[in-house]
Amino acid sequence: MSLGADRSYKMKLRDVENAFKYRRIPYPKRSVELIALLAISCTFFLFMHTNKLNSRLKEMEVKLQPSEFSALGLTSNHVSGHDAGKHDDINTLHGTYQYLKSTGQLASLSSERLNNTRHARLEVVFFNRGAKVGSEALMQLTETMAPLNNMTVVTKGPIDINARIRAPRERMLQAVWVADLEPGTIYIEHCNWLDFHRYQLPKPIYINMVRDPVERMISWFYYIRSGYRNAIIHNRFPNTTLKSEKWFKKSYNQCVRSGDPECQYVPESIKDAVGDYKRQSLFYCGNNRKCLPFDSPHAIQLAKRNVERDYAVVGSWEDTNITLAVLEAYIPRFFRGARQVFELHSNSIRNRNRNNRKPRVDPDVREMVRRNFTNEYEFYYFCKQRLYKQYLALQLEDNLR
C-alpha cells in the first residue's frame, strides 16, 4: 500500500471512530422518564437515611457526653452509690477528695472556674425548687436573711399552674417576667429550668436543691397523706372528693410489695398512675417533651448539661454545712452570713413544712424501689459530686478538718 493510500485509510478509520464516539443514541421517551424517576428516588432515599443518621448521631452526642458533664469525669458505673457509707465512697466528700487528690485534679480546682454566677446578667436568683428536697427550708432561710442582705423574696410567679411541663407561651411569659424583676430579688417557685437565651433575655443566677431519690418518694408518699396538706387542698378546692380512710392508712411497705400502681416506678414511662414528682431531674431538664420519660438516660444527660452550664449552686440538706458554705462563697450578694443565720434560726427553718409522720420503711423495700431509679441516682450523685468540688475548691484540705 502506498503512503498516500495508507494515510487515506487512517483518516477514514479515524472518521469512523469519531462517528461512534460522538454519535447520539436515541432512547425511547419512557426510558428517559424511568431513569429520571430512579434518580429522584435514589436521591430521596439517600436524603432520608442521611437525615435519620444525623438525628441518631445527635442523640448519641447527648448520651455520650464528654467527661466534663460527669462531675468527676467518671462513668455511671463509678457513681452508682451502692457502696454508700464506705469511708472512700466516691459519693461522699472524703471520697471525692481522695479521688481528686489521687488523679492530680485537687491542686487545679478553681472556685472561680466552678462558679456560674459570673455568667449571670441579672442580679436575680432563680430558685426553681424541686418537690420534697427541703426547698421550704431554704425559702425560710432566704426570708429570714432578706432584711440583712437587702433583698426581696418572691414566691409567686405570673402563671398559676402545676403542670409537669409548660407550653411555649407560658415559658416565654415566665422568662420575660423574671427578666423584669428588680435587682436583689430571689424568685422561688416549683417549675422547670428555663432557657432565657432562647428568648434573648439576660440570664439570672440559677440555684436548686437535690435529695436522695428514694427518700424523696417516701417523703412524698406520706406528705400527701398529711392532714395539714389535705386541709389546705380542701379549703382551696372544696369540691374535691376526699380520699378514703384506707388510702390515708396505706403504708409504703405495703404499697410497694403489693404492686400498687401508686408505688410502681416504671422506667421510660410517661403517663403516671398517680402524680408523684418522681422525676427529680425534670426540674433541671426543662420543658422539652424528651424530658418526660421517667429515668431516661437522655433526659438525665440533658439535666446534667443544664446544671453544669447554668446553675451556680445545687445544694442538699444532707450536706447542710457544705451547701451553706458554697452558697455564701459563690453567691455572696444574696447568701452572705447564711451559716450564722441558719445556726440562730435552725429550728424554725428545719421545721417548715416538715412531715412528722414517716413510718419505718424496710431495707428490702428501699432496694426494690431503688432499682428503678438507676439514672435518677446518677443525676443525684452528679450534683453531689459537683457540690463537693465547689466546696473543696474554696480551701482544699482545710475543708476536711
CATH code, domain with 273 = 3.40.50.300
82 catalytic residue (yes or no): no
Nine cell digits for residue 286: 426543662
Across the chain, mean pLDDT equals 84
- How many other CB atoms sit within 10 Å of the CB of residue 154? 17
Higher pLDDT, 11 or 26: 11
45 in a structural domain: no
Which one of the listed residues 49, 119, 190, 197 is annotated catalytic?
190
Query: How long is the chain?
Result: 401
* Residue 61 pLDDT class (50, 70, 90 cuts): very low
187 beta partners:
126, 154
Confidence at residue 239, expressed as pLDDT on a 0 to 100 scale: 72
339 in a structural domain: yes
348 in a structural domain: yes
188 beta partners:
127
Q: Provide the 3-class DSSP secondary structure of residue 124.
A: strand
351 in a structural domain: yes
Confidence at residue 84, expressed as pLDDT on a 0 to 100 scale: 41
Confidence at residue 75, expressed as pLDDT on a 0 to 100 scale: 46
Confidence at residue 252, expressed as pLDDT on a 0 to 100 scale: 97
35 in a structural domain: no
Tell me which residue of 78, 24, 69, 130 sits closest to 304, measured CA to CA.
69
* Residue 275 pLDDT class (50, 70, 90 cuts): confident
* Residue 87 pLDDT class (50, 70, 90 cuts): very low
What sections of 23-156 are H helices per DSSP? Answer: 29-63, 93-102, 135-145
Give the contacts of 142 (CB within 8 A, at least 6 positions apart).
127, 151, 153, 186, 188, 334
Place of cell 479521688: 99
Nine cell digits for residue 177: 417576667
Give the contacts of 191 (CB within 8 A, at least 6 positions apart).
128, 157, 166, 174, 283
Q: Which of 40-49, 98-107, 173-182, 375-384 has the least mean pLDDT? A: 40-49
Residue 318 has pLDDT above 90, yes or no: yes
Q: Note the pTM of the prediction, 2 decimals.
A: 0.79
Sheet of 205-209, strands arranged across: 152-154, 185-188, 124-127, 205-209, 311-315
Rounded mean pLDDT, 47-58: 52
Q: Domain count of the chain?
A: 1
Place of cell 453544669: 308
72 in a structural domain: no
HSE-up of residue 366 (Cα within 13 Å, Cβ side): 12
Residue 284 has pLDDT above 90, yes or no: yes
Q: Which of 17-26, 219-228, 260-269, 359-368 has the least mean pLDDT? A: 17-26
Tens digit of each residue's pLDDT (9 = 90 or more) over 112-138: 999 999 999 999 999 999 999 999 999
Distance CA 177, CA 179 (A): 5
205 beta partners:
125
229 in a structural domain: yes
Residue 29 has pLDDT above 60, yes or no: no
The boundaries of the domain holding residue 124 are 84-400
12 in a structural domain: no
Rounded mean pLDDT, 271-292: 92
Higher pLDDT, 87 or 144: 144
Tens digit of each residue's pLDDT (9 = 90 or more) over 148-205: 999 999 999 999 887 889 999 999 999 999 999 999 999 999 999 999 999 999 999 9
256 beta partners:
none
Exposed, middle or buried: residue 9 (CB in 10 Å: 0-12, 13-18, 19+)? exposed
